[in-house]
Amino acid sequence: MAEIILFTPKAELDAAANLRGFVDMCRSKLTVFGADLPFQNDVWDVTDAVATKGNGSKRERITFSNAATVDQKAPEMMREPFLSFAKAYVRYMHGMRPTKIIHNRVAALRAIEAALLETGLPPDPVQIDSRILNRAAQIVADRFSDGAAYRVGGQIEMLGIFLSENRLVAVPIRWRNPIKRPSSAVRVGKEFDEKREEMMPSPAALDALPRIFRIATEPADVITVSIAALLLASPDRISEVLTLPEACEVREPRKGKEDAYGLRWWPAKGAEPMIKWLVPSMGSVVEEALQKIRSVTAEARRIAKWYEQFPDQLYLAANVAHLRGQEWLSMKELAKILGINGGAAANTWCKTAGVATEKLEGAGKTLYVRFRDVEAAVLRMLPKGFPVLDNETGLKYSEALLIVRRNELGAQRGTYRCMIEAVSIGQVNTGLGSRVKHGYASIFSRFGFTEPDGSHIEVTSHQFRHYLNTLAQSGGLSQLDIAKWSGRKDIRQNEVYDHLTPGQMLQKIRDAVGGDQMFGPLAEIPKKVLIRRDEFARLVVPTAHTTDLGYCVHDYTASPCQLHMDCIHCQDLVCVKGDAEREALLRRRLDEAKGLMERAQAATSEGYSGSDRWLDHHRTIVDRLVQLCAIMDDPKVPDGAVIQLAAPSKPSLMDQVTERGQFQLENEQTRLLAGVKALLGE
């Protein structure tokens, strides 16, 4: 584990001296990214420190290139002295505030260096100020999407705070990220429609997947379409699917009903491990998908188990097990062990793996290799960290659902018979069409499915999560349940995955109130809303509490009460007809309100200041109580009906400001008139 060392600036030193001390400490004393990190190199391999789940053998590297050439094959590096600071900052901050998306941090550094270079001076971090950070934010906003720019802007803000707190700049900085978080509130227009299409699988893809699921036989197709089936059963992250254990199924008996069926999940972003119960309509699909996956991956788990039990011995399939005792192997024998085609391919493998070949006396031109050399070379190919696949859960390769023999999902190369690898996110997305434009076949192209216009079908694994969340939103599932179902810690994250169209949202509101009536400013407000008791219980009882007049269904997780003790003016008040005690209290309240309204009328007639506003307030109370009592007395409304009055109209902020200004003007005129009268001696 890396040792964390806190940098402490010296008050008596200037910013440049503190900066030199910071860089020296990060170069020589820190062990973040490894004690042997080649600090002087401009490209760091940090796979072990920041590797994310599901990336397979892909290496994670940090390249300290500048913003202008970052996308080129041979990019230019940042310039000194900023380059050394950037390396020190990345290493230090990953120890203090680690992140899996480390490239956002590097992108912020690139933008700041570019802003410094625009001044025409060497990019010295000491010269960073608010003006430089503002320019860096502009560069980021121009180069990245709205969401990415917001996140990189947050990294710029973090860097500004770090520089100021540690006295690494000539002038203290107080700077906030000016890039606003993208809003998902706007649901109309071309921009929303395009974003929705990007986030959701197309209808053509959703129509093709079940057909492919039935006819796929090749390992790559079976794995890809079966993973898609799992992702369509519940809104999971692909990294969570790829780290499922082979024994992931859970069945629980239910009295008088079909057994509940679910899967064990370990959420990837902090939520607690859970069992996700599946709806019966998808349960059989998931069972079949798991069976298909196991049929493809069983041999890989067998190989992984061998290497766990015999970590220094090469795995040999049954038909080549007799070769273990031999000292020398021919190229044909080697090809059978590895699972590649022919002696020529075996010879190429030897050159790549660094295995020496020899010609034996009396064997002519035939090449041979020592068994022990092949064994050592193959053992070096074991995945990094073997036998553990997931350090967070301790899942081993031999226990994992989604591991395959090496190259088994690649059509261009032969499948290794003696080596394994985990299925990666890249392999799944390639199978779903993410690289079809670059010549890589997808499950859709292999089976002849296209979009209606003839274009390629392209899907990403994360689109299924957006799709299911949107279905849950349209179906009226509570925000808390959606968050739990999706494995989220924060309910506010639901918003990002909600892609309801205006029509779907309108239908959702109509369905919630029953019938085809609309409420609020969108249509004429009816005077009562009746819903059945069972619907009321299903929709709002979990968030309701009793009041003296009925029930309050306000969601306190969303906001505090805005009308403290003024329940009669609140749309969240619901009353149940047939509750004799509350009906009696309701009528008593009406009598009291009428008495107070009469007193307010008398005060208004006598000219008391402010009495007209009290009169308006009491009138609305009387009106709403009269409406409630009329509904209670209506024989057409059955006992047990739940009654909800529409919200009273509220003046806009502009109306309130205008009214307040008029009131202040009247008071000022009254005071001026009194002053004039005093001067005149009246």
pLDDT digits (tens, 9 = 90+) for 308-362: 999 999 999 999 999 998 999 999 999 999 998 887 889 999 999 999 988 887 6
Of the residues 165, 186, 201, the one at which a domain ends: 165
Q: What is the pLDDT of residue 40?
A: 93
Q: What is the pLDDT of residue 529?
A: 47
| Relative orientation angle of helices 146-165 and 82-96, to the nearest 10 degrees | 100
Q: Does the pTM exceed 0.85?
A: no
Of the residues 123, 150, 165, the one at which a domain ends: 165
Neighbours of 505 (CB within 10 A): 14
**374: containing domain:** 298-422
- DSSP assignment of 278-313 equals PPHHHHHHHHHHHHHHHHHHHHHHHHHHHHHH-TTS
Q: Say yes or no: 405 and 538 in one domain.
A: no
Q: Say yes or no: 19 and 152 in one domain.
A: yes
Q: Say yes or no: 411 and 526 in one domain.
A: no
| Residue 117 included in any domain | yes
- Stretches where the chain sits below pLDDT 50 are 11-12, 185-188, 500, 502, 505-506, 508-510, 512-529, 531, 533-542, 651-655
| Tokens linked to 682 | 């009246």
| Residue 499 included in any domain | no
Q: What is the pLDDT of residue 502?
A: 47
| Residue 49 included in any domain | yes
How many Cα atoms within 13 Å fall on the side-chain side of residue 157?
A: 12
Q: Is 477 helix (H, G, I), strand (E, B) or coil?
A: coil
Q: Which single residue is written with the structure tokens 């202040």? A: 664
How many Cα atoms within 13 Å fall on the side-chain side of residue 433?
A: 24
Q: What is the pLDDT of residue 646?
A: 72
Rounded Cα distance, 276 and 171, in Å = 54
For 44, residues 6+ apart whose C-beta sits below 8 A from its C-beta are 33, 37, 38, 61, 62
Q: Say yes or no: 399 and 529 in one domain.
A: no
| Residue 172 included in any domain | no
| Tokens linked to 325 | 């005792």
| Residue 466 included in any domain | no
Q: What is the pLDDT of residue 51?
A: 60
Q: 51-104 pLDDT, tens per residue? A: 666 666 677 889 999 999 998 889 999 999 999 999 999 999 999 998 878 899
Q: What is the pLDDT of residue 513?
A: 45
CA neighbor of 298 nearest in space, from 200, 223, 380, 197: 223
Q: Say yes or no: 414 and 516 in one domain.
A: no
| Residue 641 included in any domain | yes
| Tokens linked to 307 | 């290497």
Q: Say yes or no: 519 and 407 in one domain.
A: no
Of the residues 133, 165, 197, the one at which a domain ends: 165
Q: Say yes or no: 160 and 19 in one domain.
A: yes
Q: Say yes or no: 153 and 21 in one domain.
A: yes
| Residue 324 included in any domain | yes
Q: Domain total for the chain?
A: 3
DSSP H helical ranges for 448-576: 461-474, 479-486, 502-513, 533-539
| Residue 202 included in any domain | no
Rounded Cα distance, 51 and 472, in Å = 32
